[in-house]
Chains A and B, each alone.
Chain A
């Protein structure tokens, strides 16, 4: 089967495209009047919040909208041919052969019952009818290209035998097997850890260059778009609101939504006291409740009644820039360079007395090798290894680390869902590490509460919001009568800036950010003094993240709460935390104030982490550090220093000390500690990873 004839124009040209989904109640327009062109070899980013229609565009290109989705206007041309007019046969040839797609969840894209090699070989065997030998050699070639160690072994393994990062590389390899003209990547790295993400992003970029593939890169992360794409298209509520080259959109934005988006993400220049983030007011409109005129109108600072809320607003070209267009009627009038109105500046709160003290905390799990009969040798998983730190009143301590670093285990031990193996946790000088939650008194339980990561999972779907908060009040012995608790519940809703009418709502009627607010209200219902926030905003959209983060800070100021902020996102950590603790495989590798951790000398892992986090700022220059391989399993940690398998400074330490000994904790100035064998001179030599280009 042959590929389509070569074509001079753009690889993909979408023009004035509109999709709708037809439900039994109404027609729901998912994408309206959407145009974008991808030139050969070009990478175009599609960025927007969840529900803005970016994935629908991808599915539309694949002509896979399901039963109730239909194109209601416009065209999608691939190499000059309209995809909507192709027959099913022709489409089958195009899919997977000329247009390949990479999805978010690598495990779900691979067939778990087939060996990797077989799955890869299928692609050329089906599309080009090549022989088995040739298919295998091609598979071997691409697996080598995606930089997987030991390609032969990879081909002979099943998907579950690989780690998440390796699986995603295989998915990329599969997409490249047929040398497609267009590659669609739908949030390809969202399910991966940051350091692994950095490596995969680099791979995608390099391979795009090598194979000359055009790319449509869908992401919600502006930083990632900056690192991978040449051009970008910002979407809001089913429409493209601005498109242009990276430099134009990032530095010379011409749409209020783009501007608001950049103001709500924590860039290195933001600061929670001096330059707080500016959250976008209001909520994302539901597809069937879009306002007339400009969709962003109701949330826009520049809104002008009569102009912005009447009629269709077309895309208009921005003069002087290369193919830069915006969907705003007022873009020529707005002074885009006006400085941000600095909101109220907040006093920095001084940390008070020590509330929580952790000393040499250890948590080991014993895993029986033979689960069924409990016999056989037992393996010990060291989830937490000698954790020691203090947390003070009204202080934010960030715990940073990737999956498997032991941060969740620590949270469990602190909450009392597990008991510690060794060491102690002192809450106001009282030991609680051996007291399981059933044995704790109400006061202790209500003092230490938790905010969970997934807003869609944090509330019981079959209980009203008010009922859930009241339940927490009942459990914490707040109030003496139902009326009192009802009143307190309404006050808690006020505290998290939710309308009181929400008490009667079911969780499914709330947006992600609103659910997270309810989760926060519930955590504070017993007057919590220590709140463990487990990635509270990472599952939220950027415009909502800022608001929820601010809310947490606000409550903290009011209630003098100690916040343990667990996250892998260093940008947000830098923005809101006072002190930072970096963890890797159960060890605390670095601990210090935010300034100390964000400036050299770093622990080598911290350094890599800084480099891996994508920053959506064109004026930032990052030192490029890509870690090899994946995070080792906690079941089978490396000998000596836990980070030695991926450390780029390892050969600076003489005598192979890294392989044999766990490094000691080295105290540096004023509470800054690093767990590393590197000598002081080497540490001094380190240069900052993130620099402003102007400096």
Chain B
């Protein structure tokens, strides 16, 4: 087998792309210069409201920027499409495009359906009116689908992210396997790392590590932040002072140091992370209990029914998660304890929730302080509603806009945090394919072999960028009406 080149048969596109990028840069530059030099332009209104084409150098420049941008997008798109058609004949790019085929299909389906029904989908539908939001959403969903499909081994070229294949140590992208077995993929698409593992497969596997931890941890942080932030903002006074002080205390503590402390074997042995888990994981229970109870307070039969439906499964899940045989918290017999979270992941989870919740707390507290002055809150008070009903059913739903935006941003922060944890080798097992660990390993040989460190870094960057753009899009669209 020959080594794969980057572009294979579609190499003819590369000079074109270089040219277009050059032009784009040039047009952007001239547009900036023209805008700075020329006097301010006033939209003089042409009759009928249609803007005429090309008048003055400013308009030409902005047109050029638009055209170049369009051309660049088209070229990149054609790389992907041609790659999909040609497969490995189009080099590494083609092979990767084909590997990601399930992701492309899922993305296209998602976007067509969403755009077709966007008027009926509320805020989510409005997202498809904002180009920024759409790009962000596409990036995020790309990695989400990659993570999910990757977990089912649909994308990876080499199923086991730990498998080492001799002779591929630190080999450049596109290196063929020396003696491929029957049905094996023939190349290491993005090369091998210093333990001769496939970088491409590990990056895809790493996406699952992020996708399974980051949103869930953020959700838990929100549960904690909301459950504490609402009463702090609503009641104010001493309670607020106390809770805010605690939040500040946690915020003031260096995050990395905290992580180092939490994963120290001595600390783990005292059971501290598990006790923290007991406290932090109980918040969703409290949240849902109060949510349901306040809503159905006046109708006891309904109340108990709903409480039972929601709380019993949650409580079971809680006990199963918290219980860990052989540790300090071990009260269930082995036969019942069917869910077992690896200690490392639990520590990571707990620490991420712990450091994220104070910030959520502050946001919720601020929003609650603002919303509690509204008349509908006063109306609820004058009809004798209890405080928790007001907080959870009158205040919280109306604070959802900023909270959704922050949720997206915070998944991004959590992703970075997970990367950091992996980079320092905290919590997760050392051979784990998560991006942080992979970057750290690649870093050690960075001067000699660049390729093992770059793909996970780019993956991390694009996912966080996507989340930020998504949050921007959501914010922008939620402000419009």
A70 touching B43, Cβ below 8 Å: yes
Which residues from A are CB-within-8-Å of B39?
Answer: 87-89
Interchain CB contact under 8 A, A415 and B379: no
**B129 proximal to A (CB < 8 A):** yes
A72 contacts the other chain (Cβ, under 8 Å)? yes
Chain A 347-362 residues near chain B, CB threshold 8 A: none
Give Cα A462–Cα B123 distance, bound, in whole angstroms. Answer: 13
| B383: contacting residue among A71, A85, A91, A449, CB under 8 A | A449
Q: Is the CB of A458 within 8 A of B299?
A: no
Tell me if A651 counts as interface (CB < 8 A to partner B).
Answer: no
B42 at the interface (CB under 8 A from A): yes
State whether A476 touches B397 (Cβ < 8 A).
no
**Nearest neighbor of B377 in chain A, beta-carbon distance:** A460
Asked if A596 is an interface residue, CB under 8 A from chain B, the answer is no
**Interface presence of A167 (CB below 8 A):** no
CA distance A437 to B385 in the complex (A): 9
Interface presence of A472 (CB below 8 A): yes
Q: Are A462 and B375 in contact (CB under 8 A)?
A: no
Query: Which residues in chain A, 453-501, are within 8 Å of chain B measured between CB atoms?
Result: 453-454, 457-463, 472, 474-477
The stretch of B44-52, B90-98, B153-161, B178-186 in contact with A is: B44-52
Known: A87-B39, A417-B382. A462 touches B47 (CB 8 A): no
The answer to whether B376 and A457 touch across the interface, beta carbons within 8 angstroms, is yes
| Residue in B42, B49, B129, B381 whose CB lies within 8 Å of A91 | B42
Q: Tell whether, in the assembled complex, residue A458 and residue B382 are in contact, meaning their CB atoms are under 8 Å apart.
A: no
A-B contact count (CB 8 A): 87
**CB closest residue in chain B, given A72:** B49
Interface residues in A45-93 (C-beta closer than 8 Å to B): 70-73, 84-89, 91
Bin chain A's interface residue count: 35 or more
B120 located at the interface, meaning its Cβ lies under 8 Å from any Cβ of chain A in the complex? no
Contact between A522 and B42 (Cβ–Cβ < 8 Å)? no
Interface membership of B398, Cβ < 8 A = yes
Shortest Cβ gap from A76 to chain B (Å): 11
B394 and chain A: residue at smallest CB distance: A460
**Distance, CA A73 to CA B398, complexed state (A):** 41
* In contact, B375 and A454 (Cβ under 8 angstroms): yes
Q: Is the CB of A460 within 8 A of B383?
A: no
Inter-subunit contact B376/A472 (CB<8 Å): no
Q: Please name all residues of chain B whose beta carbon is closer than 8 Å to the beta carbon of A450 when the two chains form the complex.
A: 378-379, 382
Does B48 contact A72, Cβ atoms closer than 8 Å? Answer: yes
For A636, list chain B residues within 8 Å (CB). none
- Cα separation A494 to B394 with both chains bound (whole Å): 25
Question: Which chain B residues lie closer than 8 Å to A449 at the CB level?
Answer: 382-383
- State A241–B384 Cα separation when bound (angstroms): 48
B400 contacts chain A at the CB level, 8 A cutoff = yes
A91 to B43 Cα, complex, angstroms: 13
Contact B381 A453 (CB under 8 A): no
A475 and B385: CB pair below 8 A? yes
Asked if A476 and B383 make an inter-chain contact with CB atoms under 8 angstroms apart, the answer reads yes
Given contacts A89-B39, A462-B400, A463-B397, contact A522 B379 (CB under 8 A): yes
Are B379 and A475 neighbours in the complex by a CB distance under 8 Å? no
CB-defined contacts of A301 to chain B, threshold 8 Å: none
A662 vs B74: C-alpha distance when bound (angstroms)? 83
- Asked if B383 and A27 sit within 8 Å, CB to CB, the answer is no
Stretch of A35-43, A395-403, A438-446 that contacts chain B: A438-446
The CA of A73 and the CA of B48, in the complex, are separated in Å by: 8
Q: Quick check: B129 and A519 within 8 Å, CB to CB?
A: no
Among residues of A, the one whose C-beta sits closest to the C-beta of B298 is A474
Sample (27) of A-B pairs whose CB atoms are under 8 Å apart: A20-B49, A24-B129, A71-B45, A72-B47, A72-B48, A86-B42, A88-B39, A88-B41, A89-B39, A417-B378, A437-B382, A438-B386, A450-B379, A457-B374, A457-B375, A458-B375, A460-B394, A462-B400, A463-B397, A472-B383, A474-B298, A475-B384, A475-B385, A476-B383, A519-B379, A522-B383, A526-B383
Question: Which 6 pairs across A and B sit closest by C-beta, in order of nearness?
Answer: A462-B397, A457-B375, A88-B40, A452-B375, A445-B384, A71-B45
| Known contacts A88-B42, A460-B393; 6 further A-B pairs (Cβ under 8 A) | A87-B42, A417-B382, A437-B382, A463-B393, A476-B383, A519-B379
